[in-house]
Structure 1
Amino acid sequence: MEWMEILTGLALALLASVCVYTHSVLWLRPQRLREKLRKQGIQGPRPSILTGNVWEIKTIQSKAAVSSTERHGRLTDDYAALLYPYLEFWRKQYGPIFTYATGTVQHLYISEPHLVKEISLCRSWDLGKPVYLVKQFWPLLGLGITRSNGQLWAHQRKIIAPEFFMDKVKGMVGLMIESALPLLKSWEDRVEGDGGIADIRIDEDLRNLSADVISKACFGSSYCYGKEIFSLIWALERTVSFAGVLNKIPAFRCLPTKNTREAWRLEEEIKELILKVATKRKEESNYVTSCETEKDLLQMILEAACADQLDQETANRFVVDNCKNIYLAGHETVASVATWTLMLLASHPEWQSRARTEVFDVSGGGLPDADLLFKMKTLTMVIQETLRLFPPTSFVSREAFEEMQLGGFRIPKGVNIWIPIPTLHRIPEIWGPDSDEFKPERFAHGIFGACKLPQVFIPFGLGPRTCLGQKFAMAELKTVLSLLLSKFSFSLSPKYVHSPSFKMVLEPQYGMNLLVSRRSKAGP
């Protein structure tokens, strides 16, 4: 009897401890963060104790899905309100800065341009990539350069950044052309076979082309393995990005659901394949000195892992994570932007004609090189306007690892900041009353001449975490688009249904079908 009383007492004590801890983690800690923000005038919807505002998000999304079926507007109308109706709803209710929660994670939404400018100028390591997102996308990105923070991020940037300097990018134009030529031939054959005009789903072809380019840039002579890695990463990306409402609650992400188990399986397959390529490269390096061959990204990553004298497991993780990061970031962004650029040119024939005329004037109908690409100003304007209207990613996200001052606000430690890129790119007070229209001429004098506050043009991110590969991306975009415009003419297909969708990047939900016809060899 005495032992039963002792065990009962211990059980009650344990239960009380769990309750106190749970109450502290699930409510008191997030409540303290919200209170610090509210004292500074930052309001937001009231959260529930376990789920935050997740169910409210789902309710607003459901209502918006019903109303959006009746929406018929221009191709360039703001899509963000349809993709993220809850953020637009709260922005109208609480203003350009508000707070909300998913589970125990506290978010701070910021669309106030001058505060965004302040954040872009912040160089402190105390503002980094959100830890909960690192965990969410761990199978896909691990702790590679796009998700790491602090000293690890700085070290990886030092290794990888030189590979995307302009002199290196110029040297990659040849392989970009090499990858594009089979696509040109494929489309030529389809156009000829269909009697002069073919209905082609271009987004899939452009994704494969971009994957081929980054395979060659990253894996060099081993790029054939890169194609297999790409297919597995693509499957893993679909698996990770398929998230129901419960996935917005961090505590539910580690449950061994069917989706989670599939992500674990794909992660292991990708790891084994990348390490197989790395082992093969190390064996080749024993016979070829570094001065006898051009180093690719894989070689630089392998040498860095060796120079750091990491243990085998850490070295393997370093190599695998960065290969996946570069692979994913290196092809998804380009494929997305190229797809939307061709859609906009197909729906604006006058700009398609202007861009094509410039391509012929600059290249004389031949293959472009890096110097000729630099002279294509009209094409640059078209790409920049596409990046404004259809940026490949929707948000810049940051977490405050220590309490810090940003603008006129004290941001508490643990708060996650969300900056909506498409919203900032369409503010009439910044871009003018025609901010929802496709007008590449606004970039005639560069980004600083296009808007009143250039720091809000952030298609490649902002601050020190700006995408390392943006010069590579712009070079590939200009290479591919100039080749396509020199060979083909584009118009919208009757099959195309305009419905932008966001997974890892912005993409057409039902694919991008365009009518493609052959251009005359005589000129534009």
Structure 2
Amino acid sequence: MDKSHILSISVAVVGAVWFLVHHLYNSMWFRSERLRRKLWMQGIKGPSPSLIYGNLPEMQKIQLNALTSTPNNADIVAHDYTSSLFPYFVQWRKEYGPIYTYSTGTRQHLYVNQAELVKEMNQCISLDLGKPSYITKRLAPMLGNGILRSNGPLWAQQRKIIAPEFFMDKVKQVMVGLMVESMQPLVRKWEDSIEAQSGVMADIRVDEDLRGFTADVIARACFGSSYSKGREIFSKLRKLQTAISKQSFLFGVPGYGLLPMKKQNEILSLEREIESLIWETVKERESKCKEACSSEKDLLHLILEGALNDQSLGEDSSKRFIVDNCKNIYFAGHESTAVAASWCLMLLALQPEWQSRVRAEVAQVCGGSLPDADSVSRLKTVTMVIQEALRLYPPAAFVSREALEEIQLGNVTIPKGTCLWTLIPTLHRDAEIWGSDANEFKPERFSDGVSKACKYPQAYIPFGVGSRLCLGRNMAMVQLKIVLALIISKFTFSLSTKYRHSPAYRMIVEPGNGVHILIQNI
């Protein structure tokens, strides 16, 4: 075969591949265009997209302008961070209102920040409203096909098995003592730091210590006395989160947010190491699940029992179920709670009067003793502080959904394939819902509960919406109460000069440079 013949074949192959890619892209683009037209016909407008990348170039331009025009005021704690982290959503909301549509390449999105429509999402129990597939695909190394990532009947099956283990009665019965016990080393560490630094005051970065605490709680809850292996898993999961967060989760366009091969290999290696560690633990615990054991069972034991007793799961499927959902519990129960606790302490460091109120309540309710299952439920002031902190700094920035089939929400028909986004911090700062003081830290707004805190209670969604509401919310609230009760009963604190206010979006909204506080014994 001569060179000209080979060249002709090569050209033909390249041409065929190009035609196929071009055809597929155009068909996907026209599908997105049909979705957009269906939304526009209902009066839902938005920025005009370009042919290939949709509104992505405009989003990047707005983001760049926000970075260059925002003054460096890290010493000033301004609670509204949406205009710096998500400036395109803020700008488009001003132009098109609380409901608008935009696209990223072949993905059509519907931005939903209207209280009535969020209420409809809260009441929706349809399995046709699931997690966006293009996002969950990127999270697969961290979450497997567990409850945070799965959709449809598989998700419903997992929820049926897992949800009962996080009901409030079980959290109080099993986990309160464990949480209090896990806080003791942290308190002693801070006391030692005060003694070592001056005997009067210590400058401490609290966010890493709080990660250690929440990791200890989940590791003990899942693994009982084998929590040292759980800590190793946490360390690797944190590295995996850092690697994955290099990708852009808001842009559904091929070629954007792709990682270098070296980083992809790192993700794959960490994924395998984590799964191997979990497999080892599952095998150790599996035999105990088959025995009629009368001793107290840890969380992994209880969930493993549920999986093994589910007749629809085979042996291999039940093990896969456990591995994937251990990853989910670790990430959601560890990282999000630690970040929420960090924001709580940052806000209280600015509010000594609320520290005093919490301290007085803890003394009255607990009477000098450590918190227990009964006293935790009576800490009303602590609850108000946590609710307000979660309003201003919800760890989850978005509620994200995809219409897996055409679905009706209120008077809006959502076409199949449309991705819905609700920006939680914007909803939590809407002056029409919360009043003119929406950007201020005022826990007293929750004195009569969420139902009286704002004009539309359905607009308060720190744990998500609908049937996919965070399963671990009871556990998170109890943990946060114990953290605040024990720390404030032992210490007073204020913000350190090292603190730089820089909320950062890394899968969740966390303090970009940590939380440094000046702490002293009472």
TM-score, length of structure 2 as denominator length: 0.93
**Correspondent of 1:84 among 66, 83, 86:** 86
Q: Note the C-alpha offset of 1:19.
A: 3.0
Q: Equivalences for 1:426-465 in 2 at 5 Å?
A: 426-465=429-468
**Structure 1 pair 285/41, CA: closer, same or farther in 2 (3 Å)?**
closer
Report the 3-state secondary structure (helix = DSSP H, G, I; strand = E; otherwise coil) of the residue aligned with 1:437: coil
Give distance in 2, aligned partners of 1:433 and 1:501: 26
Q: Which moved more, 1:224-233 or 1:48-57?
A: 48-57
- Which residue is 2:502 aligned to? 499
- Which residue is 1:275 aligned to? 279
The reply on whether 1:264 has 2:265 as its aligned counterpart is no
Q: Note the C-alpha offset of 1:508.
A: 0.9
Q: Equivalences for 1:51-130 in 2 at 5 Å?
A: 51-71=53-73, 75-130=77-132
Q: Which moved more, 1:264-273 or 1:6-15?
A: 6-15
Percent same amino acid among aligned pairs? Answer: 54
Q: Note the C-alpha offset of 1:285.
A: 4.8
Give distance in 1, aligned partners of 2:141 and 2:426: 30
- Which residue is 1:516 aligned to? 519
The reply on whether 1:166 has 2:158 as its aligned counterpart is no
- Which residue is 2:475 aligned to? 472
Letter aligned with residue 241 of structure 1 = S
**Structure 1 pair 495/283, CA: closer, same or farther in 2 (3 Å)?**
same
Instruction: Say if 1:246 and 1:252, in contact at 8 Å, map to a contact too.
Output: no
Q: Which runs of 5+ in 2 are unaligned?
A: none
Q: Which moved more, 1:65-74 or 1:271-280?
A: 65-74
Over the residues paired in the alignment, what is the CA RMSD in angstroms?
Answer: 2.3
**Correspondent of 1:48 among 44, 47, 50:** 50
Letter aligned with residue 426 of structure 1 = R
Q: Note the C-alpha offset of 1:209.
A: 0.5
- Which residue is 2:191 aligned to? 188
Q: Which moved more, 1:176-185 or 1:6-15?
A: 6-15
Letter aligned with residue 66 of structure 1 = T
Report the 3-state secondary structure (helix = DSSP H, G, I; strand = E; otherwise coil) of the residue aligned with 2:356: helix
Q: Note the C-alpha offset of 1:256.
A: 6.1
Report the 3-state secondary structure (helix = DSSP H, G, I; strand = E; otherwise coil) of the residue aligned with 1:418: strand
Give distance in 2, aligned partners of 1:379 and 1:290: 40
Q: Note the C-alpha offset of 1:306.
A: 2.8
Instruction: Say if 2:211 and 2:334, in contact at 8 Å, map to a contact too.
Output: yes
The reply on whether 1:341 has 2:344 as its aligned counterpart is yes
Instruction: Say if 2:134 and 2:252, in contact at 8 Å, map to a contact too.
Output: no
Instruction: Say if 1:76 and 1:389, in contact at 8 Å, map to a contact too.
Output: no
- Which residue is 2:228 aligned to? 224
1:400-440 residue CA offsets vs partner (Å, 9 max, x unmatched): 01111111111110000001110111111111111111111
- Which residue is 2:143 aligned to? 141
- Which residue is 1:407 aligned to? 410
Letter aligned with residue 271 of structure 1 = E
Q: Note the C-alpha offset of 1:197.
A: 0.2
Instruction: Say if 2:207 and 2:514, in contact at 8 Å, map to a contact too.
Output: yes
Instruction: Say if 1:381 and 1:440, in contact at 8 Å, map to a contact too.
Output: yes
Instruction: Say if 2:246 and 2:257, in contact at 8 Å, map to a contact too.
Output: no
Letter aligned with residue 279 of structure 2 = L
- Which residue is 1:522 aligned to? none
The reply on whether 1:373 has 2:365 as its aligned counterpart is no
TM-score, length of structure 1 as denominator length: 0.93
Give distance in 1, aligned partners of 2:462 and 2:18: 49
Report the 3-state secondary structure (helix = DSSP H, G, I; strand = E; otherwise coil) of the residue aligned with 2:395: coil
Q: Equivalences for 1:206-217 in 2 at 5 Å?
A: 206-217=210-221
Report the 3-state secondary structure (helix = DSSP H, G, I; strand = E; otherwise coil) of the residue aligned with 1:292: coil
Report the 3-state secondary structure (helix = DSSP H, G, I; strand = E; otherwise coil) of the residue aligned with 1:356: helix
Q: Note the C-alpha offset of 1:284.
A: 4.5
How many matched pairs? Answer: 515
1:414-473 residue CA offsets vs partner (Å, 9 max, x unmatched): 000001110111111111111111111110000011011100100000111111111111
Q: Which moved more, 1:154-163 or 1:414-423?
A: 154-163
Report the 3-state secondary structure (helix = DSSP H, G, I; strand = E; otherwise coil) of the residue aligned with 1:98: strand
Give distance in 1, aligned partners of 2:192 and 2:14: 75
